[in-house]
Structure 1
Amino acid sequence: MNMKQLPWMSLGALALAVAAVAPASAQQKSVAVTAIVEHPALDSVRDGVQAGLKEAGFEVGKNLKWQYQSAQGNTGTAAQIARKFVGDKPDAIVAIATPSAQALVAATKSVPVVFSAVTDPVAAKLVKDWEPSHNNVTGVSDLLALDKQMELVKQVVPGAKRVGMVYNPGEANSVVVVKQLQALLPKLGMTLVEAAAPRSVDVSSAARSLIGKVDVIYTNTDNNVVSAYEALVKVGQDAKIPLVASDTDSVKRGAIAAFGINYRDLGEQTGRMVARILKGEKPGDIKPEISTKMELFVNPGAAEKQGVKLPDALVKSAVQVVH
């Protein structure tokens, strides 16, 4: 645009003209997403976030800049990603799973952080309580009622007394579940037998250490365990130990049953929350949410391989029967 050719144009009109021809990217919002590791449940959250944003009018390639990085299970890498994303100054950062959320909350007090797939954000010290934080953090939890989980365990293995759990003692959400089960199970006439797996490569040996000591293995959404679920399934099949999960995606990978959250829906719920922030709401004014949509998945073939038969009524009540 040549100023000499526009002697009649005021500065205000010129500014409007420049804005009209400004590239669309100048009007874009920016969202960065990180996950502690890639596995089906967390991948579903990531894809759901993008879908939730699109539903709210923010579409990648049109008016939304999107970047994603996985820490590949490494908390040190999670901290590096957090620092990079904070330096990029996006309009919001989504942290999928507890370790990534903790890294981001430690890295910034100003850039909006929305956590997702975090079991207990209070215990993880992401927020003080379940009320609006009045700072830069909010999000969506995948907290489950463990009494309902143990009801499913009893339906799958009616005589179960000893419940095994493989978990990463360094992952806050798993430690919370262990403590809750330690308090709950004695009331149900059951006991918890723990096996630590600090790394994904430890899952197989931890599971094998439970052979002869447990009647069933219950798995929460521990990221090390879910990342190496096939190793756990092999132990379950070889030793005829039934596996009951809290993650419905794990049923497709060999768990017998799961009464859990649809992680795609959880991601969409998170995406809608992020959209509210992109439209001007402050994260500290938004109360953390819990997903309330629960689904039952069953896998009769896995049950047979692990030495049990699922009750017909349980199979008929499932949202999805995996074959």
Structure 2
Amino acid sequence: MILPAERGPNMRRREFVGVLSGAAAWPLAARAQQPLPVIGVLATASPEANAARLRAFREGLGVAGFVEGQNANIEYRWVEQDSGRMPEVAAQLIDHQVAVIVTAGGTASALAAKAATTSVPIVFGIGGDPVDLGLVASLSQPGGNVTGVTSLNVEVAPKRLELMHELLPSVTVMGLLVSPVVPKYSETTIRLSQAAADAAGLQLHVLRASSEGDFDAVFESVIKLRAGALVIAPDNLFTAHSEQLAALTLAMRCPLFTNFVGSSPPGGLLSYGSSETEYYRLIGAYAARILRGDKPADLPVQRSTKVELIVNLKTAKALGLNVPQTLLARADEIIE
């Protein structure tokens, strides 16, 4: 046994190095056991309806070095078109202590997330004006805990009518389907579309659907109004029920301009709007920057500027329509 008085300098040095080594090991062990940061995704529709969007979102995260399950986790919450549950679901994500909330359900989910917290960072993806909607103070200096990415889907509303008129020059009556859940969004779309219809000499009838249960009545109205085509404004409600809308289109033989043009089953006839791949990559990149420590107040609202025209020849064939070569030549994608 070595008594305290008998300890030499070498013994004391070894004890000191041992204590120091042990102390250094604690932080390393603690870091290894720390949970991964969690991204909360608040979305309408379903995982299947959002598959392509989420793939692009993960690509945006990956460019910044974040991979789901490796150095970040993603907590998904789907409201399945029940927008009334948005506040409840947003609160669930906050209780889960997520590092950032990403709203992939359009304007409704962005507004619900903002109302639920002033501290958890939020990255939105919307088609309207975030300043006008009260989400941010300004585009260049958002302030607060919210920033995000906007698309051109509202601004290009007139172009959709123009393209449909080019495809169907003999049609003089068209319908415009909007969701009234966020009035500022739908009213702007209606105003811009009506101006384009007036300029082209078209009679435009505005139809509204707040839920899946409204779809049959919408198409009955299309028939009663003798509308030769229906333009559907981009909205997660319509994307989530794209197969049902496509089936109604074929059953009633009504050409449909949509933001979904899936090939199986046949979807919309034409689609024109922001590239969803670019759009959601940008959202993913902003979520990654927040995980790295950037503050939403310092991240200017970005705009996705790439637009795409997609033509579905499969749907055109099913409806007995010939698509002009001038339109096909301008298409970014043709589904055959």
Q: Normalised by the shorter chain, which TM-score bucket?
A: 0.7 to 0.9
Q: Which residue of 1 aligns with 2:36?
A: 28
Partners of 1:60 and 1:39 in 2: CA distance? 16
Amino acid of the residue matched to residue 108 of structure 2? P
Aligned residue-pair number: 318
2:16 to 8, 13, 16: 8
- Look up the SS of the partner of 1:160 in the other structure: coil
User: Cα 1:136–1:253, aligned 2, differ >3 Å: closer, same or farther?
Assistant: farther
Answer yes or no: is 1:190 the counterpart of 2:198.
no
Root-mean-square deviation (Å): 2.5
- Residue 134 to residue 117, structure 1, CA distance change in 2 (3 Å): closer
How is 1:95-114 mapped onto 2 (pairs within 5 angstroms)?
Answer: 95-96=103-104, 97-114=106-123
Matches within 5 A, 1:133-282: 133-144=142-153, 145-172=156-183, 173-213=185-225, 214-249=227-262, 253-282=266-295
Q: Which residue of structure 2 lines up, in the alignment, with residue 45 of structure 1?
A: 53
3-state SS in 1 of match to 2:314: helix
- More deviation in 261-270 or 180-189? 180-189
Match of 2:73 among 65, 76, 84: 65
| Aligned equivalent of 1:3 | none
Contact 1:166 1:203 in 2 (8 A): no
**TM-aligned CA distance change 1:262 to 1:38, over 3 Å:** farther
Cα distance in 2 for partners of 1:143, 1:11 equals 61
Alpha carbons 2:136, 2:143 under 8 Å: kept: no
Counting aligned pairs with the same residue, the percent is 27
Cα displacement (A) at 1:33: 0.8
Task: Select between 279-288 and 125-134 the one with higher mean Cα deviation.
Answer: 125-134
Provide the C-alpha distance between the structure 2 equivalents of 1:179 and 1:13, rounded to a whole number of angstroms: 70
TM-superposed deviation, 1:40: 5.9
**Structure 2: tracts of 5 or more residues without a match:** 1-13
Task: Measure, in 1, the Cα distance between the counterparts of 2:139 and 2:172.
Answer: 34
Amino acid in the other structure paired with 2:203 = T
**Contact 1:167–1:224 under 8 Å retained in 2:** no
Q: 2: distance between equivalents of 1:40 and 1:146? A: 26
Larger radius of gyration: 2
Secondary structure (helix, strand or coil) at the match of 1:34 reads strand
| Alpha-carbon distance between aligned partners in 2 of 1:250 and 1:208, rounded to the nearest angstrom | 25
**Against the structure 1 CA distance between its residues 182 and 312, is the aligned structure 2 distance closer, same or farther, given a 3 Å change threshold?**
closer
Letter in 2 for 1:20: L
Task: Report the Cα offset of residue 119 of structure 1.
Answer: 3.5
* 2:38 partner amino acid: S
Amino acid at match of 2:180: P
2:162 partner letter: E
Partner residue of 1:121 out of 130, 139, 146: 130
Does 249-258 or 27-36 show the bigger shift? 249-258
**C-alpha offsets along residues 203-223 of structure 1, whole Å, 9 cap, x if unaligned?**
132122111422211112122
Q: Which amino acid aligns with 2:246?
A: V
Could you tell me how far 1:250 is from its partner in structure 2? Answer: 8.3
Q: Whole-Å Cα distance in 2 between the matches of residues 102 and 316 of structure 1?
A: 40
**Against the structure 1 CA distance between its residues 247 and 274, is the aligned structure 2 distance closer, same or farther, given a 3 Å change threshold?**
same
Q: What TM-score comes out, normalization by structure 1 length?
A: 0.88
Q: CA deviation at 1:308?
A: 2.4
Q: Secondary structure at the match of 2:130?
A: coil
